[in-house]
Every structure is written in C-alpha cells, then in structure tokens.
C-alpha cells in the first residue's frame, strides 16, 4: 500500500466520527441540512479548538509541576484563558438548546462531552457556564455514557504503578518529537485492520 493510499484511507479521526455515527449508520445524525451542518461545525470545533487547547493546557500544567522545566507562567496563562474562552463558546452554543445541535442528542455531544466533563483543575468555575453545567448533567445521566465511562475506568492505569523506566520511555514517545523522513514504502494494513474493528464497537456504546 502506498503512503498516499494509506493516508487517504485513514484520513482523520473526524472522518471516522462522520462515518460511524451518521452517514453509514444513520444514528445520531440529523437529516435536516441545517442541523446536519450544525453537527459538522461542532465536530470540527472540537478537533481544531477544544481537543488541542485543552490538551495543551494539561501538558503545561503537568510540566509546571517539575521545576526543571523552568518558568511556564506564560503558557499556563495562555491556555488557561483559552480553555475558559472555549467553555464560553460551549455555553453560548447551548443557549436555549438542550443539546449542541438542538433538541436531539448527536455525535456533536458525544465528541465534546468527554473533554468538557473533566473541568476540575482547568481553572474554570462551572457556575460561570450554567448552560454547560446543565448539559454535562443531562449527558452524563445517559445510560450509554455511563457505560462508556465505566469501561474507561476499568482500563485506566494508576500512574503510581508505572516504573520510572517506563515513564521515561513513554515521555520520549510523547514529548519533543521532530519530523521523520518519509519512507519509500509504508504498510499500514495492520493499523487499518485495528481501526476497522474498533470503530463499530464505538458505535455500539
């Protein structure tokens, strides 16, 4: 398989959300054009704003716990403010709406809920965002969401159980990566096989 073909097949996780929840299964995806594109907007917002900015905030907050990383007050301020702003975007998006795309629960809620639900330690007071607070409670009471969170708890690893050598190995994989040369041939068949088996499971939650 060529690199281009592999990339074209894998695309992005966002395309997977489109395929799994809506255009292939017909579930959690409104058919009215204006609502359909409302869902699309939230999916792209999550991928381009919520996920990256929340992730960067978490990265710098963890890094600031180690003095060898120096003064991180500026990135902390930057991403604390960004996360606060993004909770405001959610709060506005939920104004007079039960869910992000209207009256019905959709993939937009599924993709935005996990990050938003972990608001503790993010320098936000949920009382500032009453629409988000109400939405988090509503979505969190759904049986499928409870089931998914339960699965996550079973799979979660206690950080204290990770030995230092393993911590160092993972840190090397996650941090300070630089570009690599493109190989002449890439075989991603095994990765594609894993994706094809995992995505239907997600749709069943």
Contact present, 14 and 197 (Cβ < 8 Å): no
Note the pLDDT of residue 5: 39
Domain CATH number, residue 46: 1.20.1050.10
Tell me, yes or no, whether 183 lies in a domain.
no
Note the pLDDT of residue 4: 34
Tell me, yes or no, whether 136 lies in a domain.
yes
Name, in order, each residue with C-beta under 8 angstroms of 202's C-beta and a sequence gap of 6 or more: 20
Give the chain's domain count: 1
Domain limits at 80?
A: 12-153
Note the pLDDT of residue 10: 36
The series of mean pLDDT values per 10 residues for the chain, 205 residues long, is: 37 47 70 88 95 94 91 96 97 96 94 94 93 97 91 82 90 82 71 61 45
Tell me, yes or no, whether 66 lies in a domain.
yes
Note the pLDDT of residue 92: 97
Tell me, yes or no, whether 196 lies in a domain.
no
Q: In the numeric block, which tokens belong to residue 22?
A: 């809506």
Cα 157 from Cα 151, distance rounded (Å): 12
Note the pLDDT of residue 190: 67
Distances (CA, A) of 145 to 39, 141, 204: 19, 7, 11
Tell me, yes or no, whether 101 lies in a domain.
yes
Distances (CA, A) of 138 to 14, 86, 109, 153: 24, 20, 11, 20
Tell me, yes or no, whether 7 lies in a domain.
no
Contact present, 100 and 36 (Cβ < 8 Å): no
Helix (H, G, I), strand (E, B) or coil at 99: strand
Tell me, yes or no, whether 127 lies in a domain.
yes
Note the pLDDT of residue 137: 97
Note the pLDDT of residue 173: 83
Q: For residue 102, what are the β-bridge partners?
A: 99
Tell me, yes or no, whether 171 lies in a domain.
no
Phi-psi region of 20 (alpha: psi -120 to 50; beta: other; left: phi over 0): alpha
> pTM for this one?
0.75
């Amino acid at each position: 398989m060529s690199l281009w073909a592999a990339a074209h097949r894998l695309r992005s996780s966002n395309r997977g959300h489109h395929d799994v929840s809506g255009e292939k299964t017909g579930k959690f995806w409104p058919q009215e054009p204006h609502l359909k594109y409302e869902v699309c907007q939230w999916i792209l917002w999550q991928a381009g704003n919520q996920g990256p900015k929340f992730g960067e905030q978490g990265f710098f907050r963890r890094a600031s716990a180690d003095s060898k990383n120096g003064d991180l007050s500026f990135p902390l301020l930057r991403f604390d403010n960004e996360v606060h702003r993004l909770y405001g975007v959610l709060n506005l998006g939920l104004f007079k709406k039960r869910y992000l795309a209207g009256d019905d629960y959709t993939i937009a809620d599924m993709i935005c809920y996990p990050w938003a639900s972990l608001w503790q330690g993010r320098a936000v007071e949920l009382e500032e965002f009453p629409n988000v607070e109400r939405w988090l409670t509503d979505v969190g009471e759904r049986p499928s969401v409870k089931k998914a969170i339960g699965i996550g708890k079973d799979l979660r690893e206690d950080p204290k159980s990770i030995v230092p050598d393993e911590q160092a190995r993972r840190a090397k994989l996650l941090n300070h990566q630089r570009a690599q040369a493109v190989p002449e041939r890439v075989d991603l068949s095994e990765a594609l096989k894993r994706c094809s088996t995992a995505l239907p499971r997600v749709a069943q939650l």
